[in-house]
Amino acid sequence: MLVRPRRLRQKEVLREMVRETKMSPNSLIYPMFIKEGSNIVEEIPSMEGQFRYSVDTMSDKLAKLKEAGVKSVMLFGIPKEKDELGTGAYASNGVIQTALREAKKNFPDLFFIADVCMCEYTSHGHCGVLHGYEVDNDATLELLKKTALSYVQAGADMVAPSDMMDGRVLAIRNTLDNHGFEHIPIMSYAVKYASTFYTPFRDAAGSAPSFGDRKSYQMDYHNRKEALKEALLDVKEGADIIMVKPALSYLDIVREVADAVNVPVAAYSVSGEYAMVKAAKHLGYMDEKKVICEMATGVYRAGASIYLTYYAEEIAECMKKGDIG
Ligand code: PBG
């Protein structure tokens, strides 16, 4: 036998030497829920270990993330009042605007990304303006432009549109440029599938659609070529980073998109992926830490260079200790 693959697997030092996937906490993004009000630290029932914070309580968590080596945070807002047009999303004293001003003051070296979408702010829970029972694409663009601009004016380091309206990357790019924010990058949720894995998030944000579903704007999960269409389109519109979401059931798509585009690719391990691991942990079926390390590595191996995960803090610790990466 000339070739014995096991030769390179004999010792940890050798395994580490030939390791193909390298990762670092620099590429982790932690998604965080900020709720309007004060003195709020509420655990999200379907996402044990994840909380809704108010602006006055978020600093402890931000400090912990920083300590763990997580440098980037993606903020989602939960307003007190929701209405037809999601006005809370672009109010200058809205929950995310307030959070950004405070966070940038206290954590100037953390990188804050604002998720841009209407669904947490609309009374009907859809990601845009309704025209009867349809989401009106072009009317929604106007609100997304206002929302993105208002987050950037409040201090967002990057914006991440997650609404899946057509043309929104270009619309946001032009708006930011016209206001002197040409240096602010856009991370586009370009390839976002209509997924049941978002269920716990909708619990967390109270953003489940009050009728119908999101299939007229989020992608059909049977489709592969369409992912390339969306990704390439958003690169053309000026997206600086392309995201694929969810992660675990879509690693084939992560690989194809990563091979097809010339920008960094991010993958988002969504709320349902987190909830499944927690459930398995409680049933005693799997070791939580080992399984999240394996999941993270799979995402990077598939071609993502950025990873959004509710386990960012734990994974950063694993990377620092050398358990992975
Ligand atoms: C907003 C948005 C959603 C998620 C991220 N941004 C929910 C949705 O599309 O219904 C899901 C994130 C997660 O499940 O962790 N549109």
Match 């309007």 to its residue by tokens.
36
| N-term to C-term CA, the chain | 31
Question: Is it true that domain 21-321 has CATH number 3.40.50.150?
Answer: no
Q: Is 245 a catalytic residue?
A: yes
Dihedrals phi, psi of 220, to nearest 5 degrees:
-75, 125
Q: How do residues 214-259 score in pLDDT, each as one tens digit?
A: 999 999 999 999 999 999 999 999 999 999 999 999 999 999 999 9
Pocket of ligand 1 (CB under 6 A): 115, 117, 119, 127, 162, 198, 201-202, 270-271
Interatomic CA distance for residues 126 and 134, integer angstroms: 9
CA–CA distance, 263 with 111 (Å, rounded to integer): 19
Give the number of the atom of ligand 1 that is nearest the alpha carbon of residue 199: 14
- Ligand 1 atom 8 nearest Cα: 198
Q: Give the pair of three-digit tokens for residue 177.
A: 């440029």
CB 87 within 8 A of CB 216: no
Q: Tell the residue nearest (CA) to atom 7 of ligand 1.
A: 198
pLDDT of 25: 97
Mean pLDDT by 10 residues, the chain (325 residues): 95 93 96 98 97 98 98 98 97 98 97 97 96 96 98 98 98 98 98 97 93 95 98 98 98 98 98 98 97 98 98 97 89
Give 106-148 pLDDT, tens digit per residue.
Answer: 999 999 999 999 999 999 999 999 999 999 999 999 999 999 9
* Among candidate residues 111, 209, 97, 118, the one with its CA nearest the CA of residue 164: 118
Active site residue 192: yes
Confidence at residue 154, expressed as pLDDT on a 0 to 100 scale: 98
Q: Atom of ligand 1 at shortest distance to CA of 198?
A: 14
**Domain locations along the chain:** 21-321
**Catalytic residue, candidates 35, 71, 145, 245:** 245
CA distance 174 to 60: 36
Whole-number pLDDT of residue 325: 85
Q: Which of 75, 117, 219, 269 to mutate to test the pocket of ligand 1 (most atoms within 8 A of CB)?
A: 117
Q: Report the distance separating Cα 215 and Cα 233, nearest Å.
A: 19
Q: How far apart are CA 20 and CA 10, in angstroms?
A: 16
Pocket test of ligand 1: the residue of 162, 207, 274 to mutate, having most ligand atoms within 8 Å of its CB, is 162
The residue annotated as part of the active site, out of 82, 145, 192, 278, is: 192
d(CA 77, CA 75): 7
What are residue 74's DSSP bridge partners?
A: 31, 113
Structure tokens at 248: 């675990």
